[in-house]
Structure 1
Amino acid sequence: MLNYQETRLVKDTIPALQQHGEHIATVFYKTMLRDHPELHNYFNTVNMHTGKQPHALTQLILAFASNIVNISELVPKLERVAQKHASLNIQPDHYEIVGKYLLRAFSAVLGPAMTPDVKMAWTKAYWVMAKMLTGREAHLYRAFEAWKGWRKFMIYRKTNETVGGNIVSFTLKPVDGKPLPTFLPGQYITLRITVPGMKFVQLRQYSLSDAPSHAHYRITVKRDQGTNPDYGRGDDAMTVSSAASSASDSSIGSIQPYKVGVVSNSLIDEFHEGDTIELTHPAGSFSLNTDMDNNSMPLVLISAGVCVAPLLSMLNTVVERRITRPVSWIQASRHDAPFQAHVEKMARNHPNMRTKFFKSRLSDSDVLSYTSSFDNDFLSLTAEDLYLAHSSAEYYICGPEKFMLQAASHLRRSGVKPERVQFEIFSVGSFEMRPDY
């Protein structure tokens, strides 16, 4: 651990990190990838070009420096990072590489401010964080048991979930025919495919969109039509993704060509039933714990667009296991609502389930302008829709950033305590829910 003087030295770098943090992160990724191009095989190409990953890394470093004397405050964020690292099969050796190039970037950008004492303090601080992550990741790997690394799956079924065919579900069966491990509803897998014209393999994380099964998994993918880079999951971890400040930055020498929606469009257009892909073991901290179910606790599931996937896994699990707790399903979409017929059919057969569907531009993309129609639709929800009279109600929200912020704001104004609300963060580096929302 760090002594008092070392913690002070780390905290004293916060102003410089606030000013130069994203430059440090960009230098870090550039030099590390230049010397270790094989690490591109762990990275999300989209996040290299959008500039989100330097921001995410900067925020993680700043959070760690700010809480260096109260590390427990970082546990939820580090848990998300550890889960993502485990889903990508990140190993302790990777931390050696990251530490080397991160500290080198600190020195390159901060210059004389990076004195030997400051460098030593940050070296120790980095390894405190690294050991927290590797320890948690080792625990996750042990829980994965026999499934280590990548496993081949066959696309057993492709199903269009909307009229236009822009949201497609893939039912996946293991090629080895062995039973699949269960998972917590809400978790995700990492998918790896080879895309023609791309030098490195492409990785994306997709939430599982059905109840756990030992025979198959299902993911649901939205075609990216240019408004949102690969509308899947993000990667807000140090060693998960690389990034640059912009796609035109001539200083970024080894980044592969940028293609909008390269994975989502390839999956929908070029992968067919019978084809194979590779997955890692399910992971993720956003999940419904069905082992501790209390049938008197209402469950409120709020989603938008394709972000319905992890909440549908929760809903299907509740229905399949005949859990009798009250459920309120609230779903926004810009056009067709995926799985609406399926959800409405379940609601007809379960009197303790209520549904609400409405249109919202915010369900489609983080970058669309705010529109009052969302507020009006959400305000139309009754106290009964949200189970506001029940102090034990649990809320799970998944959608684009603005959607989640508006939903959270409405719940806060309605008196819902933050500890009863969970959020799934699909985007990288752009949304960090505060304790007070």
Structure 2
Amino acid sequence: MTRTLTPHQAATIKSTVPVLATHGLTITTQFYADVITSNPVLKNIFNNTHQATGHQARALAGALYAYAANISDLGVLSPAIELICHKHASLVIKPEMYDIVGTYLLKNMKLVLGDAATPEIMDAWGAAYWQLADIMIAKEKGLYEETGYWKEWQEFKIVGKEKESEEITSFYFEPVDEGLKVPKYRPGQYVSVRVFVEELDGGVWQARQYSLSDAPGKKYLRISVKKEAGVEVGEPKHVAEPGYLSNILHGKKNVGDVVQLTHPFGDFYYEEKEAGKDAPAVLISAGVGLTCLMSILKTLVEEHSSRPISWVHGARDNKTRAFKKQIDELARENKNLHSVAFSSSPASDEVQGTDYDVKGRIDLGKVDKEVLFTDNVTAQYFICGPTTFMVDTENKLKDLGVSSDRIKVELFGTGGVPRI
């Protein structure tokens, strides 16, 4: 049963919004330092890069502010809660962890605010924390139950490693336990990949989420990972760099090696019943954002769907454009598939009309309306790429008359939801 706030407690939480705006980041930064020092086992759960860069503390501070500001209408936060619960499930977060987090969060709120943290305010925040925790625990329980037979980390062997571009490599995984079934996930979802990192504090587990990049129903799971330039595993600062774990996969993990995976999760996915069998699917991506959309595209093609499909992708040039040959081949074989390739910095030997279609970054104004389907009220839009690109593209589609309920945006990161 979800615990609830009294009207007076809700009003007290609302009154702390200005305080959180000023001191929220200090509270969450101190919280993470304290809880990890007192509970070293959490190093195996928290993202070391996000800890080193302060991203996780900023995300939690933003979440606390959003929660307090919307305490009287939590429905506004439903998309953010859904996203975070899927992330938690993919990291096998258990109910008892909420006790630890709650204890140390309230402790550090009191320490930072000092005399301003009156008994009334702390009582209200204690009730508010457990109201939200109960909601999330119940949601995560439901997600775990959906997996049926797979609730923990499982060992998977790398059975294939294939270079897709200058930056992106695909990894194919099959379960070490031959009795473990590979689930038929929803196209667009992700898995968490966990490896043991000896370079960190004498050795800790680290996990990251990566989109599944193939259609479900195979005997393997495939992810396609971008190697971030300028990051070398072993350098003193490499653990604080974006792409840290992806560099370990690229540089240290090969066919035959074993890693751990969780069951697929994620609230960004394609589902036919939401649209109808004839509704156009418009897939828009930039850079490595194409990975989750490849899963959707291959699903539609393999199901021999007759629905119109538009593939709009932006990359710097052909060397960095993953899956180009596959996309071109699929477009030749499927008359209902239209592909538009943007190149922001094409090489001098690349030919417009052959190697790419439009020079520059993605600009929906340069995509034919017949391909974008903005006049079709059933068309579904899926967007993935850098955060600014996704938000800008979503806003452009809305300007073109597309209703928000037909636009899905994949927002990775630690609860990174720009809308709140």
TM-score by length of 2: 0.90
Q: Which amino acid in 2 is paired with 1:374?
A: R
- Report what 1:26 is aligned to: 29
SS at match of 1:374: coil
CA drift of 1:289 comes to 1.1
- Report what 2:352 is aligned to: none
Between the aligned partners of 1:201 and 1:280, the Cα distance in structure 2 is: 14
Residue of structure 2 aligned with 1:344, choices 313, 328, 336:
328
Change (3 A) 1:427 1:257: closer
Q: Which amino acid in 2 is paired with 1:200?
A: V
SS at match of 1:95: helix
- Report what 1:244 is aligned to: none
Residue of structure 1 aligned with 2:211, choices 207, 227, 250:
207
Residue of structure 1 aligned with 2:300, choices 306, 311, 318:
318
Structure 1 unaligned runs (5+)?
Answer: 231-246, 249-255, 362-371
Higher relative contact order (CA 8 A, sep 6+): 1
CA drift of 1:213 comes to 2.2
- Report what 1:296 is aligned to: 278
SS at match of 2:184: coil
- Report what 1:4 is aligned to: 7
- Report what 1:360 is aligned to: 344
Between the aligned partners of 1:107 and 1:373, the Cα distance in structure 2 is: 51
CA offsets 1:142-185 (integer angstroms, 9 cap, x no match):
111111211011111100001x3x21000111111232111111
Aligned residues with identical type, % of pairs: 37
- Asked if structure 2 preserves the Cα contact closer than 8 Å seen for 1:207 and 1:220, the reply is yes
CA drift of 1:226 comes to 3.7
Change (3 A) 1:383 1:357: same
Between the aligned partners of 2:243 and 2:323, the Cα distance in structure 1 is: 22
- Report what 1:182 is aligned to: 184
Between the aligned partners of 1:116 and 1:94, the Cα distance in structure 2 is: 25
- Report what 2:380 is aligned to: 394
Q: Which amino acid in 2 is paired with 1:180?
A: V
- Report what 2:19 is aligned to: 16
- Asked if structure 1 preserves the Cα contact closer than 8 Å seen for 2:286 and 2:313, the reply is yes
Question: Which stretch of structure 1 is more off in the superposition, 269-278 or 256-265?
Answer: 256-265
Q: Which amino acid in 2 is paired with 1:309?
A: T
- Report what 1:406 is aligned to: 392
Residue of structure 1 aligned with 2:105, choices 102, 105, 116:
102
CA offsets 1:46-78 (integer angstroms, 9 cap, x no match):
111222111211121111111211122221111
SS at match of 1:203: strand
SS at match of 2:215: coil
- Report what 2:412 is aligned to: 426
- Asked if structure 1 preserves the Cα contact closer than 8 Å seen for 2:289 and 2:385, the reply is yes
- The CA RMSD over aligned residues, in Å, is 2.1
Change (3 A) 1:273 1:42: same
Between the aligned partners of 2:414 and 2:344, the Cα distance in structure 1 is: 22
Q: Which amino acid in 1 is paired with 2:196?
A: T
SS at match of 2:204: coil
Q: Which amino acid in 2 is paired with 1:224?
A: E
CA drift of 1:291 comes to 4.4
Change (3 A) 1:360 1:50: farther
1:158 aligned onto 2:161? yes
1:416 aligned onto 2:420? no
1:277 aligned onto 2:278? no
- Report what 1:141 is aligned to: 144
CA drift of 1:258 comes to 3.2
CA offsets 1:88-121 (integer angstroms, 9 cap, x no match):
1100100000000110111111111210011011
- Asked if structure 1 preserves the Cα contact closer than 8 Å seen for 2:342 and 2:360, the reply is no
Structure 2 unaligned runs (5+)?
Answer: 346-358
Between the aligned partners of 1:92 and 1:192, the Cα distance in structure 2 is: 21
Between the aligned partners of 1:184 and 1:291, the Cα distance in structure 2 is: 12
TM-score by length of 1: 0.87
- Asked if structure 1 preserves the Cα contact closer than 8 Å seen for 2:279 and 2:380, the reply is yes
- Report what 1:374 is aligned to: 361
Residue of structure 2 aligned with 1:69, choices 67, 72, 78:
72
1:225 aligned onto 2:229? yes
- Asked if structure 2 preserves the Cα contact closer than 8 Å seen for 1:400 and 1:426, the reply is no
1:132 aligned onto 2:118? no
The size of the alignment, in residue pairs, is 397
Between the aligned partners of 2:230 and 2:416, the Cα distance in structure 1 is: 18
Between the aligned partners of 1:360 and 1:385, the Cα distance in structure 2 is: 20
SS at match of 1:68: coil
Q: Which amino acid in 2 is paired with 1:344?
A: D
Q: Which amino acid in 2 is paired with 1:217?
A: L
